Structure formats: C-alpha cells, structure tokens
Amino acid sequence: MNPQHEVAPEVSIIVPAFNEAEGLAVFLQQLFDVLRGCTASHEVWVIDDGSRDATWERLKGELPHYASLRGLRFTRNFGKEAAILAGLRQVRGRAVVVMDADGQHPATLLPEMLEIWRSGKAQIVAAQKANRGTDSLMARFNAKLFNGLMRMVTGLDLEGASDFRLMDRRVVDTLLSFPEKVRFFRGMTVWTGFTTEPIQFDVAPRIAGASSWNTAQLTRLAITAITSYSAKPLGMIFRLGLLGMVAAGLLFVQAMYSWLTHIAVSGWTSMTVVVLFFGSANLLGIGVLGAYLAQIFEEIKARPEFLVGEIAPQSEK
C-alpha cells in the first residue's frame, strides 16, 4: 500500500488487461492525454491478469513516461472480475473508474463522467453501450440472451450495461466490504442502488488483438451472475415438481379409469413420456442444485480471489 501521508488522488483508473501488449502503449497515451486535461490529480493502475504475451514488459517500459502509472501483475490468469477487485483494493481515488485496456471504452468520455460526479448528481456514472461496435452476430446474440436471462431471473436490468463506470469512493468502499468471493462487478454496482447516471458511448473497435471471451466463458459468467443474485431457479424446480404432481394425479385417474373399464394395457406412450419427462426434470433439478452447491463451495473455501505476482514501481508496495 501507499504511504499514509500521500493525499488521495481525485481520480483513479483501473484497467484490467489480459494479453494487451500490442495496443497498450497507444491506449495509455490516449488515456493520459485526456486525464491531464480533466484532472490534476490522478493515478492509473493496470492490472495484468496473468497475460501470456509481453503486456507486463510493455507496461514496465511505459512507467518512466507517466509518473502516476502503476502496475500489478497476477501470478496467473484469474479473470477480469478478479482483476477489477484487485484494482479496487489498490486505488485510493475519490472517484474510481474501471475501463478496458483495448480502447473499446473511449477515454474521451472521462471528462463528462467526472463532471457528472463532481456536480454531485450521482455516485455512479455508468457508461452504456449505444451500439455494440464490431461485435459479431454471435456475440450480440449471446449478450441478448445473457441480459434477458438476468432480467428474468434476478430482476437486474443489465441491457447495454458495461464495466465502464465511474464510482464514488463510498461505492468502492461498499463493494469492498462485501465478504463474497464470487463476484460479478456490473451486477454488484447495480445492486447497491446508489444514484446512477447513465451516459451513452459508442463501442470503439479494439486498438489491437482479439476479444478473449468465448461462449463457454460467457455461460460460466451467466451461471455465476445468476447464482449469486437470485435463488429463483431453486423455486422453479419446486414449481416444476408441483406441476409434475398434478400431471401424475391426472394420469393416475386415467390409469384407474382404463383399469376399471378393462381397456388397460394402452399407456405405453404416456409411460414413456412420463419416464422421459421426469427423468430429465430430475437431472435438470440436480444440475441447478449443483450450480448453487458449487457457488457455496467456492464461498466456503474462501480462497483468495487472486494472487499478486509483482507490483510496479516496486517502491509503491
């Protein structure tokens, strides 16, 4: 941590970066150009989430150019959520902004975000995607599905929401006071209910490299997000079970009727349907239970969310 006597900067920027070596220099230049123009006191923390390329070396190379630039490197890839958390724990700013390292979150939005925060109008300024830029059709579909599912199950509206947001110190301290290990930053800030001012931005194309999200990761994120914000799926199994009971009751009446009227034996079809339906419903139910069990397991283990490999410049320890 930084020495106590140092005054907290007005603005801290947290930049999670995974394999961003190629575009990092350009990104930092754009960022600092804007920052210098809109605030006198700032710090920028790039959190290298265990990149496998030269991100860390590039970052260290950039340190001499920017006095307020800091870096932290994980021992391995722990994921963007962990990187954001690491950043939140490091920074001391009175306003904290999280933004991507690939240039997709335009730094030119910062002056406006700061203005809104300074005016005291809101404690969170959430940048919302006006368009999805160069996202592929698949990515758009995934996002739609994810947001729709989240709204249905957790009641949190994340449509257009991005991780690009400014938070007042109070919001950051609140988030840090949560004991939970499994985190979903975007949802968490919405959940806190602090006054939020949305502003629109056009998603820019990446400076370099490619997005590192795939459908499997997004599915995992969706499961994490849902299991940490809602127990509704558990209630759904219960209701499905009830429905099954009613159906079984009706079938029982039908079976009794055919038996009494001596037209039995039929029923192969209904039997098959019942077996198939309840067989798969059972598995589905166990799957949902499993997802919550896994969530509880993660929380109970209480392992650290990430491990820090190195901090630069080193005197900043």
Work out how close the CB of 100 gets to Mg ion at its nearest, in angstroms, rounded to a whole number. Answer: 5
When asked if residue 213 is in the footprint of ligand UDP (CB under 6 A), the reply is: yes
Query: Side chain identity at 147, as an amino acid letter?
Result: N
When asked if residue 224 is in the footprint of ligand UDP (CB under 6 A), the reply is: no
When asked if residue 305 is in the footprint of ligand UDP (CB under 6 A), the reply is: no
Q: What is the helix (H) or strand (E) element at residue 239, kind and residue range?
A: helix 232-260
Q: Which residue is nearest to ligand UDP (CB)?
A: 211
What is the dihedral sign for C-alpha 91, 84, 210, 19? positive
Nearer to ligand UDP, 42 or 129 (CB): 129
Binding segment for ligand UDP (CB under 6 A), chosen from 16-24, 68-76, 113-121, 179-187, is 16-24
Which of Mg ion, ligand UDP, none interacts with 101 (beta carbon under 5 to 8 A by kind)?
Answer: ligand UDP
Nearer to ligand UDP, 100 or 168 (CB): 100
CB distance 127 to 165 below 8 Å: yes
Nearer to ligand UDP, 26 or 293 (CB): 26
When asked if residue 48 is in the footprint of Mg ion (CB under 5 A), the reply is: no
Q: What are the tokens at 213?
A: 């999200």
Q: What are the tokens at 124?
A: 């969170």
Work out how close the CB of 118 gets to ligand UDP at its nearest, in angstroms, rounded to a whole number. Answer: 26
Q: What are the tokens at 135?
A: 């996202």
Q: What are the tokens at 83?
A: 């990187």
- The Cα–Cα gap between 208 and 79 comes to 20
- Site residues for Mg ion, 78-137, by CB under 5 A, read 102, 104
CA distances from 73 to 29, 130, 234 (A): 20, 32, 38
- The neighbour count for residue 22, using CB atoms within 10 Å, is 17
Q: Which residues would be at the binding site for ligand UDP (CB under 6 A)?
A: 16-18, 20, 49, 77, 79-80, 83, 100-102, 104, 211-213
Q: Which residues would be at the binding site for Mg ion (CB under 5 A)?
A: 102, 104
